[in-house]
Structure 1
């Protein structure tokens, strides 16, 4: 019996030892798992490739469409009413300033002129008589008591009245003469007749909305273009441009800036530029479309980053800076694109480093290295 009790006690001891060993091994295993899990949960070291922001003022080139227009273009109307008597030019004729283009006929104007001239001569005779009478009274008044002062004043008033009537009549005659000059239609400048709208015998004048001729200057042209708003601040007075026209492929022409509109167009937010183009040989034609190349430069340096550094999101446009291992998102506005660089405007400094390949997943704040 004692032997049986001894065996039971040994079994109990062994079982207790085994249980303790299992618990010890389980605890050790749990600690190892916790250590592994802790290692796994530690943040990974990250690094981003950066490039310094550039504070530069490069010259850049853009290409914009333009139009060649005549330097001067006008519709030639008749200033007085009359019938077309003669036509001296036709479409395509080149004319000189002051050259006679057409003659109108208005017989009533000649009669009006003759009437005005006759009236002028009569009034002139009246004036001469009044002046002669006044001069005589002045001579007689030198003898004391020969002429009353009131008679002298009356004669002087009559003479001045006659002179005023003569001046008015002479102005009326000049007016009639000038109207006759308007019957002769002359060229206002050197150019080419682009349209002839009437024929001999047609009634022309102030009551007609149809011009006799359309005329344009061809030896000098205006190259006109609309420059987008973002380039407007880069325009310099006297800047040069090169352009081509589709009618003469492979040939390049030069021009110099003559004037700008000074203000942005409210419709398309653009600045109108005009270049004067001398065309003495008539090589270029007004109305041609041209493609213009401009070399522009900002008036002051600005910030430039690599084009792929600009992050365009639904909430706006950003670049990501990384200074002293800290990522920061900076809102920017895009300017000009130049090769692989893009001009940006925002709260940047020359010492900033820009993340080259940004993404929306990159969070602001310190990074682990």
Structure 2
């Protein structure tokens, strides 16, 4: 009897163990099937909508744009007064120093005006000296009580002061005539080279002429002027380096560093003008050359970048499609800089977003229906 009960007990335990194992196996099979199904769904989603992660970076990038080399200083030289060209000391291509005499004008009436002003000044100065002596004598005599009436002393003083004022005015007139004579001598305003000569000896020059006597420029130092497109304006640093080439020296590359910029966009072409000073003591470069400039730029802060293929351009705007939690969203963006296969975009993004690599207008927003 006891043996029979023991056997039944063992059978019951064995049966329970077998049932537990079967349940565990069934449960594991269900979980495995769920995992496999989920993986299949994810694979199907991935295959149907391939994605790439959005990048939040701040890369350095290069652009190549045309520029122009200009003389550091350039000026048209006009005559300040009317006169005939008496002598010319320079011609096109002559190198001159600051203050060097370039031309002399002739104006006889100006010399006569100066002589007349000088003569009037001397006469008025004599009148002033006489009135001053008269006042000094009356002042000395007035020290004796009752010798000179006070009104007489005041009258002499007034005459002397009037004569002094007249002399000062005459002196200023003479200085004016003298200064006009100085304008007959035309000198160089800075070191440079004469680039154009428009008159000959005997020609009439003066304020009524729209043609300059001479044109001169500074060639030992040049300005490299670059018009940078608006979208790159915020990527300019104070020490921006540049390399450039010119067609006249095709095998040479020149270096320069940013010298100045206004910081304001040109309203005509929406560009930022940059200037680089270039030393040209060897005279290899010519003012007026066109150059091809390479700039290395970088934003002041990181921004979002996506694969260029993931941008959808439609009639209603430019968009990027994002996929998150099996839901597609269409986000309107503005394009920025392009760099190889990446494009900078500005929109309502987060760094966790993934963007569709093959967007199309047929793809609708909302949950994915698989």
- TM norm. shorter chain > 0.5: yes
Aligned to 2:124: 123
Per-residue deviation at 1:131? Answer: 1.1
The answer on whether the counterparts of 1:227 and 1:271 sit within 8 Å (CA) in structure 2 is yes
Q: Which residue of 2 aligns with 1:59?
A: 60
Q: Does the aligned pair in 2 maintain the 1:45–1:368 contact within 8 Å?
A: no
Measure, in 2, the Cα distance between the counterparts of 1:139 and 1:155.
Answer: 12
Map residues 342-361 of structure 1 onto 2, 5 A cutoff: 342-361=343-362
Counterpart secondary structure, 2:91: coil
SS, match of residue 207 in structure 2: coil
**Matching residue of 1:208:** 209
Q: C-alpha separation between the residues in 2 aligned to 1:314 and 1:234?
A: 30
Question: Secondary structure in 2 aligned to 1:111?
Answer: helix
Deviates more, 1:274-283 or 1:44-53: 44-53
Larger mean Cα displacement after TM superposition, 90-99 or 251-260: 251-260
Within the alignment, does 1:247 sit opposite 2:248 as a pair?
A: yes
Q: Contact 1:256–1:276 (CA<8 Å) still a contact in 2? A: yes
Whether 1:336 and 2:318 are equivalent positions in the alignment is no
Deviation of residue 121 (structure 1)? 0.7
Size of the alignment, in residue pairs? 326
Q: Distance in 2 between matches of 1:70 and 1:237?
A: 23
TM-score (norm 1): 0.86
1:83 matched to which residue of 2? 84
In the alignment, is residue 261 of structure 1 matched against residue 262 of structure 2? yes
Matches within 5 A, 1:96-111: 96-111=97-112
**Counterpart in the other structure of 2:276:** 275
Moved more, 287-296 or 200-209: 200-209
**Separation in structure 1 between the aligned mates of residue 81 and residue 364 of structure 2, nearest angstrom:** 80
Tell me the SS of whatever aligns to 1:268: coil
Equivalent runs, 1:269-308 vs 2, <5 Å = 269-308=270-309
Residue 298 of structure 1: CA displacement?
Answer: 0.7
Contact 1:46 1:368 in 2 (8 A): no
Query: Once the two structures are superposed, what CA deviation does each residue of 1:208-233 show, in whole Å capped at 9, x if it has no partner?
Result: 22111011111111111111110111
Matched, 1:225 2:226: yes
Query: Which residue of structure 2 lines up, in the alignment, with residue 323 of structure 1?
Result: 324
- Structure 2: which 5+ runs fail to align? 1-42
Question: What SS is found at the alignment partner of 2:349?
Answer: coil
The Cα offsets for residues 199-253 of structure 1, whole Å up to 9 and x where unpaired, read as: 1111111122211101111111111111111011111223121111111002111
Secondary structure at 2:351 match in 1:
coil
What displacement does 1:146 show?
1.5
TM-score of the two chains, using structure 2 as the length reference: 0.86
Distance 1:100 1:121 in 2: 32
Cα drift, residue 162 of structure 1 = 0.6
CA distance in 2, matches of 1:176, 1:128: 24
Secondary structure of the structure 1 residue equivalent to 2:161: helix
Residue 249 of structure 1 aligns to a residue whose secondary structure is strand
Q: Structure 1 residue 368: deviation in Å? A: 4.6
Q: Equivalents in 2 of 1:350, 1:157: separation in Å?
A: 90
Aligned-partner Cα distance in 1 for 2:248–2:323: 53
Unmatched 5+ stretches in structure 1: 1-43
Aligned-partner Cα distance in 1 for 2:180–2:309: 73
Cα distance 1:256–1:239, how it changes in 2: closer, same or farther (>3 A)? same
Residue 94 of structure 1 corresponds to which residue in structure 2?
95
Q: CA deviation at 1:261?
A: 2.8
Distance 1:58 1:137 in 2: 91
**C-alpha separation in 1, matches of 2:44 and 2:204:** 93
SS where residue 104 of structure 1 aligns? strand
**What is the deviation of 1:111?**
1.3
Distance (Å, rounded) in 1 between the aligned partners of 2:272 and 2:214: 33
Q: Match of 1:18? A: none
Residue 46 (structure 1) shift: 3.6
